[in-house]
Structures are given as C-alpha cells and as structure tokens.
Chain A
Amino acid sequence: MTDIAGSSAAAIASAIVRGEITATEVIDRTLTRIAHRDPVLNAFTAITAERARARAAANPTGPLAGVPFAVKNLIDIAGLPTLAGSKINREHPPAAVDATLVTRLEAAGAILVGALNMGEYAYDFTGENSHDGPSRNPHDTTRMTGGSSGGCGGAVAGGLVPLALGSDTNGSIRVPSSFCGIFGLKPTYGRLSRGGSFPFVSSLDHLGPFARNTTDLALAYDALTGPDERDPVCTDRADEPITPLLAAGRSGLRVARCGGYFCAGVGPEALSALDAVASALDATRDVEIPEAARARAAAYVITTSEGAALHLQRLRTRAQDFDPDVRDRLIAGAMVPSAWIVQAQKFRRWYRDAVLRLFDEVDVLIAPATPCVAPLLGQKTFVLNGQEMPLRPNIGIYTQPISFIGLPVVAAPVPQPEGLPIAVQIIAAPWREDIALRIAYDLEARGVVRAPQPSE
C-alpha cells in the first residue's frame, strides 16, 4: 500500500491485518500528508499527533484497525477545549474525556488524528469561519466546502483522512458532502449518541460519519451505534449492523423522486444528478412531500430561537466575539415570540405524520442535496427560482425539510462530466439507514455515484 491519501478505510484496515503495513506507518504517512496539504485546505484546527502515534504503537485491532479519522471541533477530544468553531469557547477548559462516538470508533481500531474546522456554533452552511479562516474545497480551493462541517468535507475529499465525524442540524453533513463530492450519513434523529458534543439545536441535532465510499460509511456507522446514557435522546434499540446487508441491492425496494418543492429552483447540475440517479433506480414516480416549504420555515424558526436561547448569555456579554454573520442571526432569533415556536412544534408533529404516510407506498425518496454546486468563497447571494437570494440561509432549502423530522439520509455524490460534484439525498423511513445505504451501495457499484478524486 503506497497511496494512503486515496485509500479507503476498509483497504487500510485490511492491509494492516494482512501485515502489509503497520498502523504506525499509516499514521506517519497521514500526518505527513496533513502537514503537506492542510495549509491549503485549512481543514484542521488541531492535530493530535502524539496521541495518534501512541495509539498506533499499541497495534489496534478491529474492523477499523489503524484507520485515521478526525472530528468536527464541536466533538469532545480529551485534553482539548471544544471550540465549536467559536472564539469564546477557546477559553473553556479542555474536555476531560472523549465524546462517546470518538470512544466507539477507537474501540473499533480507528485512530484519531485531529479536530476539524467548522462554521461558528454550527449555524452555517458555507464552511467559512471568521476566527479560523474558511475551509477550502479540494476540488477548487477558491470555493466553499459547505458547512457547517466544512473541515470534514475538506479533509475527507482532500484525502487527508478516510473518515470523519460531523454534525447535521439542518444539513451540515449533507451540504459539505454535496459540495466536496463525498458520502455522508445523517442518521435517524436519536440513532447515534451526541454525548460529549457541543449542541446547537438539541431537538434537531444529529451526529454522523463522512467517507469516500459507502462501505466505509457503513463500517463507521456499525461502530458508532448503541445506547448511551450521556445522550437522553439516544435510542436503546438493539444494534442493527448494516455492513453485512449492503450487497443485498435494491431488489424489492420502491423508489420515488421528490417533486414539487424539491424541483423548484433546482440548478442544472442538481437536476442532472437527480435525473441520473432516478434513471439508474428506475424511479419513474414523482411524489410530493406535503407542505415541505412550510416545514423548512418551521425548521428555520425553531433553529433560530433554540440557537438564540442556547447562546443568550454569551450574546449579552460577548456579542463582539461572535462571527458577525452568526451573531446577527442569533440576536434576531432571541426576539422570536413563543407562539411562533409552539406553532412550529405543533406543525412538526403534523408534518411527520403526513410524511410517514408516504412510506406506506415507497421505501426510498430521492431529492437534491443542494440547489447548486459549491459557490465561491465570500459569495453572499445566489440565484434561486430566478430571484437573487442570500446564500447563507438558503443553501439548505432541500435538506431542512428532511432533518426536521429526523429521517435517515445518505448524501451520495454524483460526479459531473466537467465541473464540480454535487450530491443527491437518499432518504428512508425512520430507523431504516440500511435501506438508504443499500441504495447508495448499489448506485456506487454501478458507477452512478462516486467520490471523485480532486487534482492537486
């Protein structure tokens, strides 16, 4: 094994088990690669080299033996302050223990190599950060990675690590997956523990993995599941491993394409990607998710008000230390009347019941992940439905109505013949991550979806 940058997690673990390479060699090469490429990509905010070398020297075993990974810097790493992309949290004491999901990946043999850049307090779809600088897209470093898990997108797409952990409140796993051309899994709300992570909007927050292929995503997911007393929302369902099911294919699964709201305003690249996936899956049927625009609006209201409530004291005393784009939205959110929030939560229940009825007739829904390919860094507006709109709040228009009710989604990248990648969302009913991953695996096996390797 010579090419660590392009190797999958499964290939690295397999090479280590076969004795073709040691975990120490993998980590040394990974750290060299990060030192070479991260000054351009700006994906990392901390490198845990000493910890990684010590762990590699202990010859870890398991399905992810020796596989390097990194985590969004809102996920606790023992000995480091948990930044959550902010200036203010730099003054926090270091985390005493690792987050639950870090512990679980390490129990499967993986090796943590660092913490990753992100949009401040996860209130972001761009991957830009006024304190640490922007994450840069490996396919075009003048463009956004998407956010808020921007460092995850840059690190995985750029071949710095094969696996990363991020968070998704309204689209923060799926948007960077789309812009950076990698696979991301936003699991069912409550499936993976958030123990030891800095929150944003508790009633919408999910953690999940990024990878460059479906098998790696499933291997990581299988290592991450399980109940956890540190997160009261985390399910106590028994583990349901997915890796053994991947090759079951799509036989018997009914696939439909989301029409209506999900096709209005969609750009040509997103439409082309959706058409390619729909055609490959023989998805001739369009379904309309009822009241999707209203669901997106309700998610917006809940996000801004819950997020503002979380940060209210910091806004009162340290407002000047926030990223201005985040601060101004949070201040506005602090003024939301409770009647709006209660109505949004009532509507949420209505909407969940309405969408779940669709799954009586279909097993999988496909939809665009983003309306466009990665915008330029610093870009403030884009054209949506023929209208110039603010970019930052609108990149997630197709992701928000899905995470609003906690459905599991795989973001799968569709390479464009000439140009930047873009992803589609593969959406399943609650707790059916297996179905979304089976579809992604089938598409990948047939070359319809794939994480393209960026040129350097």
Chain B
Amino acid sequence: VMPEWRHAVRTHIRITRDMAQRVMDFKLPDEFDPASVFRA
C-alpha cells in the first residue's frame, strides 16, 4: 500500500469495521447455518 493511499484505505477500513460491528452484534445460535451458497 503506497503511503499516499493509506489515509483513504484506513478510512475504508473504519467504515467496514463499523458496518461489521453492526452485524457482529446480532445474536444468532451457534448452529445457525450461513447462506454461503445462496438461493432466493
């Protein structure tokens, strides 16, 4: 990562972390399966 890109990359990491925190805060049972192969 070039030094001049780092500020923008850090900003996007922060945004992604905040988004992920919202998802991680949602409580689901351990046995709940992910939709890794998704079908509508």
Contacts and interface: CB of A to CB of B under 8 A. Distances in A.
Interface of A: 188-190, 203, 291, 293-294, 297-298, 300-301, 304, 319-320, 324, 327-329, 331-333, 335-336, 339-340, 342-350, 352, 390, 393, 405-407, 430-431
A346 B22 contact: no
A189 B37 CA distance: 12
A324 to B, nearest CB: 7
B34 A301 contact: no
B12 A348 contact: no
Contacts of B12: 304, 328-329, 331-333
A301 B19 contact: yes
Contacts of A430: 40
A406 B40 CA distance: 6
A203 B1 contact: no
Nearest to B8: A328
B21 to A, nearest CB: 8
Contacts of A189: 38-40
A346 B34 contact: yes
Given A331-B9, A349-B33, A352-B35, A297 B20 contact: yes
Contact of A301 (B23, B32, B39): B23
Contacts of A328: 5, 8-9, 11-12
A297 B5 contact: no
23 contacts: A188-B40, A189-B38, A203-B37, A297-B23, A298-B19, A300-B16, A301-B19, A304-B16, A319-B5, A320-B2, A331-B5, A331-B9, A332-B9, A332-B12, A332-B15, A343-B24, A343-B26, A349-B33, A349-B34, A350-B26, A352-B35, A406-B38, A406-B40
A190 B34 contact: no
Interface of B: 1-2, 5, 8-9, 11-13, 15-16, 19-20, 22-24, 26, 28, 32-40
Contacts of A332: 9, 12-13, 15-16
Q: Is the interface of A mostly helix, strand, loop or mixed?
A: helix
Given A390-B15, A431-B40, 7 more contacts: A301-B19, A301-B23, A319-B1, A319-B5, A332-B13, A343-B24, A346-B32
A271 to B, nearest CB: 25
A393 B15 contact: yes
A6 B39 CA distance: 38
A429 B23 CA distance: 24
Contacts of A203: 35-38
Nearest 9 A-B pairs (CB), nearest first? A406-B40, A345-B34, A332-B12, A297-B19, A328-B8, A430-B40, A349-B35, A340-B20, A297-B22
B26 A291 contact: yes
Given A190-B40, A324-B8, A328-B8, A344 B1 contact: no
B17 to A, nearest CB: 9
A294 B38 CA distance: 18
Contact of B28 (A190, A304, A333, A346): A346
Contacts of B24: 339-340, 343
A391 to B, nearest CB: 13
